Structure 1
């Protein structure tokens, strides 16, 4: 049984759709009247599509059930969006996106870096369908990085308004490899992660409740001074030390990153009570050194600055004495 499956109660005539799995082998189903009932799994039987077609053919008077694509307002399975990692062998694992809902999902799956994002997959993931994204090496698990999934909910015709789903995921080995089970639709063992598990469907705002909240007295919390991280005594501003994407940057972008790092580390040094800090900026064409000296000359918390460690860096480093 999977979320979205149509089931029948064994000892009664009610039919419904599985919406959630609860504890102790209890399943929540939504019957046609819109009510949701907790039922023991052993009290349910899955209604197969073949069975439905057979009995409709015998009666001859009922029209065939429409597919998920053509059903304008039959949203029954609200949740069931998964990232499924299916092992291919002892070295590789395949990433699939699974949509086990009745919604069509215009979506994008990306991986962000410091200044860019890498697109992995995008398009429209149809209701009750899946798509393979890519193969991953298990040995590179720690380097997989962060996955960002964004989607809208769409169906033809009228449907309840639904907020977009935005999910940011970074997997940890101690939990990732413990969550292995059958992937919906794919029917294969997979390390499964449900993207919409914690999503809350917004409810209409009650006017009286809102009014009461507006007049509640909120006790001010005591202010806690932020703890400032003490920087290293020597800060290397060479661009390859600051970003892995330096090969994609032009000169102006590099200078911008270097100056922002310089200012951030200088302010941290001042806030944390350091007496001095040294910045390695290199010689180059002198643009970075000149701009750093210009800003130091106007800073109210700088006592003086001078070229540092000339025997090691030449004129490629500046020591700053803080007031």
Structure 2
């Protein structure tokens, strides 16, 4: 029988800038080898002096790499950590009025520091996860995720293994660091003042002393690797605008057949292989459809290049 325990100790005082989080947690819970110590990003931010005066709107530009989507008063952005979150993860709860908490500058480094501190003071080999709350595409509500980790296998690779029926698994990759974060939040609660939790029973995921692993940054998709780099409305606007700086979130260039099908389905036009350049497509376009064709090409990672005929548009994949 497999058993997992989650412990969330009471009695944590208000965390001030410069606080030693290891000193705060050790008197509250006895850690053992193989434990996963879970720490909310809020207390990490407080200890690291990341609580600043002002509002979320005022702090948002400095934490934003690019805007993904806006809906009413909600702005979803890709933040400087590569995370896609509402308001870049800036939070105004559980902080003094008139101030906000920014996410830690480097949550993986914060996790490594806590892990090393526990090891130095107790001799115990524990993993550390730093968590924050995030929404999910396709789902209502929020759950906690790992934004920092040290000493932990953050994702288990099942691709290539076979199940009990002999079926080979292709893309199964449980994000166990996120699962641990969600489990810890069940015990911590949002308003109970329990920023630490210990998840016990998955020592198999804890790395040996001296091995911190890739951290939670390994769970962040690279720019252009996400199928939803922009919101639905924003993707249309960006494609029509056609600014080369907006290309990356659309991902790698689509296959020739995919673009040709889109041209046919949306515009009713035929894209044929160029006789001059086998790596490009040529479309004979009525004057009023040139701009929509360019937008379609942009969204698929292609661009138009000069042709000898004013009625033809030649398209080719964008080169790195």
Please give the TM-score of this superposition, normalised by the length of structure 1: 0.29
Taking CA–CA contacts closer than 8 Å with sequence separation of 6 or more, which of the two structures ends up with the larger relative contact order? 2
Larger radius of gyration: 1
Greater helix share, structure number: 2
More strand by share: 1
